[in-house]
Amino acid sequence: MHLPKSFSILLSTLGLIVLAQAAPTTINESLILPQGHGPFRSSLKIAELVDKSRVDPYNETHTRRLMISVFSPMPVSECAKTVLIPYMPSVVADFESDIMHQYGYPEGLWSRFQLEVCASGASKEEGPQKYPLALFSPGLETTRHFYSSLALEIASYGFTVVTIDHPYDTDIVAFPDGTVIHGGLVIRPGNSNGSTASVEKALAVRAKDASFVLDTCGIRDVESAVMFGHSFGGAAAANALYSDRRLKGGVNLDGSIWGPVLSAGLNNTSQDFLMFESEGHDTIHDPTWVDFWAALEKDGGWKRELKIKESGHGSYWDVNILVDIAKIREGLDEVAQSLIGPVLGERVWKVMGRYLPSFLNFALGRRKEDKIFNVPSKEYPEVEIVRK
């Protein structure tokens, strides 16, 4: 994917701001998240996007503002130097530390992490390397920064991965001008007498956010990009596919499903969808998955439901690998353990690195269907093909 020149300039400018903060206080204090396992290295740019055509649906005093992280693949030959940059801004790290400390995680942990990325930005302007675009939507009230390691993993297989914060939904969003927007405005059905109105509104907002990012990235062609997400972000991916035909494939990483897709499916036989579940969360136990799967069957498009055996809902976010890099997994209490699941983070990332790029390339018509979606893999025995 070749980003428009204006967007590239914006990313480059803000990227300099990020890189200027790159050096950790002391080497001994930093915990390093390495590049992904794929054949590419990755660079990172962080940017604010402003949708001047849309008043923020949660705050009418300003237009819709988003924060995104863009993880761009780079051939190894173009990544002569790597740098370490903060895993998340200090204001976000402090906020998340206060929350996670309540669940048994050490105070100040997240500010110690650094991301290893290529020092240079996108490929040379005069001969851009084109990579397919993959949008990512995080869990409800969860910062995009908690998925940066996953984004690095997928980017290392040749995808430009854009992670998106959705203000007033995401727990905290920090902007370059110092503005901080807190979330918590989306009410879960269990906390609203079963009403789904709040989550359905949030999913519609996320779908429009995704379409705006596609616009900004210069995506014009139908079925030329993909989207994936964890938890509520998986539902967002499904609903974004429903509303925007530029998205050819979607992935739900263990999220319950709401919105029009429950009855209408993707409303398009040419869009493909992949579901990854955890133990006990599937089309048998989650009624939203039952309805969504039935709707997908009516669509008649390609679909699969896979499971990582013995995984938990939190197996699919960065915290699962962060605790291992920090070497604190064994010391976590039961509540803290419940947020990550029993499967080691690096192993989940290797599964993601094998299955997600294969699916996304297939959905985009770049590769044939991989046999791993039809025949259990000896290399990945923990992955079960549940439905197809």
371 contact partners, CB below 8 Å, separation of at least 6: none
Contact (CB, 8 A) for 118 and 41: yes
Structural domain spans, the chain: 5-387
Asked whether residue 20 carries a pLDDT value surpassing 70, the answer given is no
Asked whether residue 189 carries a pLDDT value surpassing 80, the answer given is yes
User: 187-201 b/e with 16+ CB inside 10 Å = b?
Assistant: bebeeeeeebebbbb
What stretches of 122-217 adopt beta strand conformation (E)?
Answer: 133-137, 160-165, 172-174, 180-182
Residue 339 pLDDT level (bands cut at 50, 70, 90): confident
pLDDT value, residue 54: 98
Using one digit for the tens of pLDDT, what is the confidence trace for 110-130?
A: 999 999 999 975 544 433 448
pLDDT value, residue 121: 55
The total number of residues shown for the chain amounts to 388
pLDDT value, residue 111: 96
Best CA proximity match to 112, nearest among 14, 47, 33: 33
Question: What mean pLDDT value characterizes the chain?
Answer: 90
- The whole-number average pLDDT for the span 249-272 is 94
pLDDT value, residue 12: 41
28, two tokens: 């001994």
* Residue 85 φ then ψ, to 5°: -125, 155
Q: Is 85 helix (H, G, I), strand (E, B) or coil?
A: strand
Least confident of 27-41, 73-87, 170-184: 27-41
pLDDT value, residue 322: 97
Asked whether residue 10 carries a pLDDT value surpassing 50, the answer given is no
90, two tokens: 């200090």
pLDDT value, residue 8: 47
158, two tokens: 């040749």
Q: Domain 5-387 - what CATH class?
A: alpha beta
Least confident of 59-68, 139-148, 187-196, 217-226: 187-196
Using one digit for the tens of pLDDT, what is the confidence trace for 129-187?
A: 489 999 999 999 999 999 999 999 999 999 999 999 999 999 999 999 999 999 999 99
Contact (CB, 8 A) for 259 and 204: yes
Q: What is the residue-wise DSSP string for 269-327?
A: TT-EEEEEEBTTBSTTT-HHHHHHHHHHHHHT--EEEEEETT--GGGGSTHHHHHHHTT
Q: What is the residue-wise DSSP string for 39-56?
A: S-EEEEEEEEEEEEEEE-
Asked whether residue 295 carries a pLDDT value surpassing 60, the answer given is yes
220 CB neighbour count, 10 Å cutoff: 9
379, two tokens: 């290399």
Q: Percent of the chain beyond pLDDT 70? A: 90
* Widest Cα–Cα separation across the chain: 57
User: 282-303 b/e with 16+ CB inside 10 Å = b?
Assistant: bbeebebbebbbebbeebebbb
Using one digit for the tens of pLDDT, what is the confidence trace for 228-245?
A: 999 999 999 999 999 999
Tell how far CA 309 is from the center of its chain: 21
pLDDT value, residue 285: 84
Residue 15 pLDDT level (bands cut at 50, 70, 90): very low
